[in-house]
A and B are shown apart, each in its own frame.
Chain A
């Protein structure tokens, strides 16, 4: 899921979360955005729109894993830290899939 400000929306993107007006659904989850819907959204007071897809990662996968190892370099054989590292490592793997 990607989180975008309305000015970054492009036709063909699919909503990952519904757009609400008060408590009623204005555009449902899964809707494809057209040019006209995007301009309506841009004229409404909306800060964030959630669309499908993976956010672009700023660095290559290998570099992300190398940084992770460096960050945990001082943790030695601390079991809790090893556990946290393992969860973060899996999280990074998932981000790049």
Chain B
């Protein structure tokens, strides 16, 4: 077997996402916009509002069970006011990669939406001030997979096949073909797009939450959400093995059996095949 692709090559290719021919132009535009440190609320609002398809996708998302607002949010400016700039930036990315997720990895979008729902529910139970931010971490935690499959399609398919054949988690199979995993890729992009450190760490350490230093709670929430959504078999391959939960992260969240049952019930509703979220 050939050498794994080096971190340096991976990072260079991933960070040139704006020049990648396989990336849709809307995502490139969004990527460039998010890199701007002086992006204002007005500019972001205008950008989204000028694109009716994007506007409708984002409004559908904020009115879905992932966000659980009791009253309908009917405009982008209202969404930004309620959710804040970073959450709307995250949602913008989420809905822009939706089609790519659907096309490239079966079940990844459903898994990501499931994690967004469960992350919000746990964040609310832990009384985190901005549960929607944690929900965005859940939504985007696997964004690195999409970028890897676009940049390195052959190697990534091999990693997927290997994970399936050996019954091991994908991030372990990725290590055979790449020096870094989709979690690293997600964190490089989150930094490039100037997301706050809690989102960067939640993406980077969602498989190894004990390494988080500045977002211990958020990272634990995304990690546990990932395990619970997999445990229920929502999204990805129904038979895909569930990775073991990190005991410290699990204990930190202090979820009772009733909490977990309630979370699974809400997850069921949001994943119901009767509705389409995006």
Contact = CB atoms under 8 A, between A and B. Distances in A.
A31 to B, nearest CB: 19
Interface in B4-63: 60, 63
Nearest to A88: B231
Nearest to B169: A74
A2 interface: yes
Interface string A73-97: 1110010110011011011000100
A78 B273 contact: no
Nearest to A56: B273
B275 interface: yes
Interface residues of B, number: 39
B244 A81 contact: yes
Contacts, number: 91
A4 interface: yes
A23 interface: yes
Contact of A3 (B74, B250, B269): B269
B241 to A, nearest CB: 5
Interface stretch (B185-193, B212-220, B260-268): B260-268
Nearest to A85: B231
Interface of A: 1-5, 8, 20, 22-23, 45-48, 55-56, 58-59, 64, 67-68, 70-75, 78, 80-81, 84-85, 87-88, 90-91, 95
Interface of B: 60, 63-65, 70-72, 74, 167-168, 227-228, 230-233, 238-245, 247, 250, 257, 260-261, 264-265, 268-270, 272-276
8 contacts: A8-B274, A67-B233, A70-B239, A71-B239, A74-B241, A87-B257, A87-B260, A95-B268
